[in-house]
Amino acid sequence: MKRIFPVIVVLISLSLVGIIAIQFSWFKNMIILKQEQLQARVEEAATVVANELSSTASSAPYFKIPRKPNISLLPEDATYGMMPTLSQHYSEFEIREKLEKVFEEKNLKDVQFEFAITANSNMYNIELQSKDFLKESADTVHNKIKIIGILPETGSDMEGLVPYEHLILIVPDFKTQVWESIIWMIVASAFFTLIIIAAFFLTVRTLLRQKKLSEIKTDFINNMTHEFKTPLATISLAVDALKNEKVQHNIEKMNYFSGIIKEENKRMNKHVETILQAALLDKQELKISLVPIHATDLIKNVVNNNNLRLQDKGGRVELNLKATNDVIDADENHFTNMLSNLIDNSIKYSKENHPLVIKVHTSSTHKHLQIKIEDNGIGMNKETVKRIFEKFYRAHTGNIHNVKGFGLGMSYVRTVVDEHKGKIKVDSTLGKGSCFTVEIPLAENGKS
Ligand code: ADP
């Protein structure tokens, strides 16, 4: 599994790059092909119209030029003269109509064009032109220009002559028009490719998370084994001691060893509770019943309960409970646990050989109660601060390994704060200390 995963990621990434490259070259070819296709169809359409016009031209009556009497050798009724120009025959609108009709037949309905009829292939000898013809004829870079001779029809009197008029057709912004015809395809394929890339990215991320999670779980099991093994070993030793006859006759020693058993028992109980809390969080079964409570009382209680441990470590708590309004809707049990976890961590992650000072500070705005718990302990780096509320997360640096835990406390704290519709913020500097700020909305109806 460890080796397969990177191989799969590399293979899929390469395939994605390959597919994108192929699509790219495919679209490039398609554009060239489309251009050629469009050009051919436009030319075809123009030729059809030119032919149509040429037949009109051929069947047009000749202008009669009055014959000079007596000089002519031609029969009485013979006529000679010149053919009328197309511009005398058709208006610009009629020619446009003809072109549009043929364009539609050739599936070129959306193609825009400009046209002109000239007396010969000189583009500036114009007899008739569409509105923007002159403007577009200047731009030979972007526009496609097609000049088709309007030859007299075969079988007509004028057969074999050089074309006497020309139809000039311009497709403005030729490339843009080609692009427009396939842009939706490019957009759709880009869209689907993006979806594939996003799905791939999400899959990889999920896999990485799963991997991390399984590592974390292994860590957790190791931790838990350790956490239970130590008290069990201690209890076992204490029981052995209690079995000793000498000890059995010494009340002091009996008390000492049974005290150890009781302590270790308590410790294990606490562990079980922590794990149970985590299990509850997993199932979203945290049953919270909110009642208006004075937060200051809860804080004082928690501090009192932890005082012994604190003194043991040579630390002290500074209380600065200045909140004028401290009534919040809270679940007494969970809220106390939450505060207890925060204080407990401050004690657990204190610096050795450095007097621990925990400052607990409260203040209130008109809507919120703010509780700050600040310590001068070992602090955390940025990565830890970011991930502290993740379940099972424990910092892996420094001497933290000496402190045992399951990495569940802070995720519980976060859940409880969330359940109270509050917010929690962490500021910490490695080596200096940490500050946790909890903000809980004040009870709606004020004081209880
Ligand atoms: P545990 O304490 O069981 O490891 P927590 O969820 O309570 O788990 O804490 C997660 C991690 O956050 C700890 O392992 C520690 O690295 C860090 N941490 C929490 N509180 C503090 C604190 N007050 N000072 C320094 N680090 C802390």
CATH number, domain of 278, equals 1.10.287.130
Q: Does 35 share its domain with 117?
A: yes
- pLDDT over 70 (residue 180): yes
Q: Does 271 share its domain with 394?
A: no
Q: Does 335 share its domain with 419?
A: yes
Residue 70 or 148, more confident? 148
Cα(410) to ligand 1 centroid in Å equals 7
Tell me the two tokens of residue 417. 């704060």
Q: Atom of ligand 1 at shortest distance to CA of 436?
A: 23
Kindly state whether residue 313 falls inside one of the protein's structural domains: yes
Distance CA 291, CA 329 (A): 5
- pLDDT over 70 (residue 6): yes
Mean pLDDT, residues 223-251 taken together? 88
Q: Does 160 share its domain with 188?
A: no
- pLDDT over 60 (residue 195): yes
CA-closest residue to ligand 1 atom 3: 405
- pLDDT over 60 (residue 401): no
Q: Does 207 share its domain with 153?
A: no
Predicted pLDDT at 58: 55
Mean pLDDT of the chain: 82
Contacts of 442 (CB under 8 A, 6+ apart): 325, 327, 328, 364, 366, 367, 368, 369
From 219, 226, 338, 348, give the residue whose CB has the most ligand 1 atoms within 8 Å, as the site to mutate. 348
Mean pLDDT, residues 182-206 taken together? 93
Predicted pLDDT at 311: 83
Predicted pLDDT at 278: 76
CA-closest residue to ligand 1 atom 13: 394
Exposure of 391 in the CB half-sphere (CA atoms within 13 A): 14
Confidence of residue 151 (pLDDT cuts 50, 70, 90): low
Rg of the chain on CA atoms, in Å: 46
Q: What is the dihedral of CA 305, 307, 309, 310, to 10 degrees?
A: 140
pLDDT digit string (tens) for 56-98? 655 554 443 343 444 444 444 444 445 556 666 778 888 888 8
Predicted pLDDT at 147: 79
Predicted pLDDT at 121: 54
Predicted pLDDT at 67: 39
CA-closest residue to ligand 1 atom 20: 345
Q: Does 160 share its domain with 173?
A: yes
Task: List ligand 1's pocket residues with C-beta within 6 A.
Answer: 345-346, 348-349, 375, 377-380, 384, 388, 393-395, 400, 405-410, 434
Q: What is the dihedral of CA 220, 222, 224, 225, to 10 degrees?
A: 160
Cα(386) to ligand 1 centroid in Å equals 12
Q: Does 85 share its domain with 175?
A: yes
Going along 198-323, which residue ranges are E strands? 291-294, 316-321
Confidence of residue 34 (pLDDT cuts 50, 70, 90): confident
Cα(302) to ligand 1 centroid in Å equals 18
Kindly state whether residue 376 falls inside one of the protein's structural domains: yes
CA-closest residue to ligand 1 atom 7: 409
Kindly state whether residue 447 falls inside one of the protein's structural domains: no
Q: Which of 144, 161, 181 is the last residue of a domain?
A: 181
pLDDT digit string (tens) for 327-366? 999 999 899 999 999 999 999 899 888 899 999 999 999 9
Mean pLDDT, residues 109-116 taken together? 84
Q: Tell me how many domains the chain contains.
A: 3
Cα(409) to ligand 1 centroid in Å equals 8
Confidence of residue 126 (pLDDT cuts 50, 70, 90): confident
Q: Tell the burial category of 417 from Cβ atoms under 10 Å away from its Cβ (0-12, 13-18, 19+).
A: buried
Q: What is the residue range of 196's domain? A: 184-282
Kindly state whether residue 446 falls inside one of the protein's structural domains: no
- pLDDT over 90 (residue 165): no
Cα(393) to ligand 1 centroid in Å equals 8
Kindly state whether residue 448 falls inside one of the protein's structural domains: no
Kindly state whether residue 308 falls inside one of the protein's structural domains: yes
Contacts of 38 (CB under 8 A, 6+ apart): 108, 111, 171, 174, 177, 178, 181
Q: Which of 112, 147, 181 is the last residue of a domain?
A: 181
Interhelix angle for 4-59 vs 92-105, to 10°?
Answer: 140
Residue 58 or 42, more confident? 42
Residue 324 or 89, more confident? 324
Lowest mean pLDDT among 139-148, 242-251, 263-272, 404-413: 139-148
Mean pLDDT, residues 114-133 taken together? 75
- pLDDT over 90 (residue 395): no
Contacts of 53 (CB under 8 A, 6+ apart): 86, 90, 95, 98, 117, 150, 165, 167
Predicted pLDDT at 74: 44
Confidence of residue 230 (pLDDT cuts 50, 70, 90): confident
Q: Does 312 share its domain with 387?
A: yes
CATH number, domain of 352, equals 3.30.565.10
Q: Atom of ligand 1 at shortest distance to CA of 341?
A: 7
CA-closest residue to ligand 1 atom 2: 405
pLDDT digit string (tens) for 271-311? 888 888 777 777 677 788 899 999 999 999 999 888 878 88
Predicted pLDDT at 38: 85
Q: Does 160 share its domain with 25?
A: yes
Q: Does 243 share its domain with 129?
A: no
Q: Does 142 share its domain with 159?
A: yes
Q: Tell which phi-psi region holds residue 162, choosing left (phi > 0), alpha (psi between -120 and 50) or beta.
A: beta
Distance CA 380, CA 418 (A): 23
Q: Does 173 share its domain with 315?
A: no
Kindly state whether residue 226 falls inside one of the protein's structural domains: yes
How many percent of the chain have pLDDT more than 70?
Answer: 85
Mean pLDDT, residues 233-246 taken together? 91
Cα(254) to ligand 1 centroid in Å equals 37
Q: Which of 158, 181, 204 is the last residue of a domain?
A: 181
CA-closest residue to ligand 1 atom 16: 395
Kindly state whether residue 26 falls inside one of the protein's structural domains: yes
- pLDDT over 60 (residue 28): yes
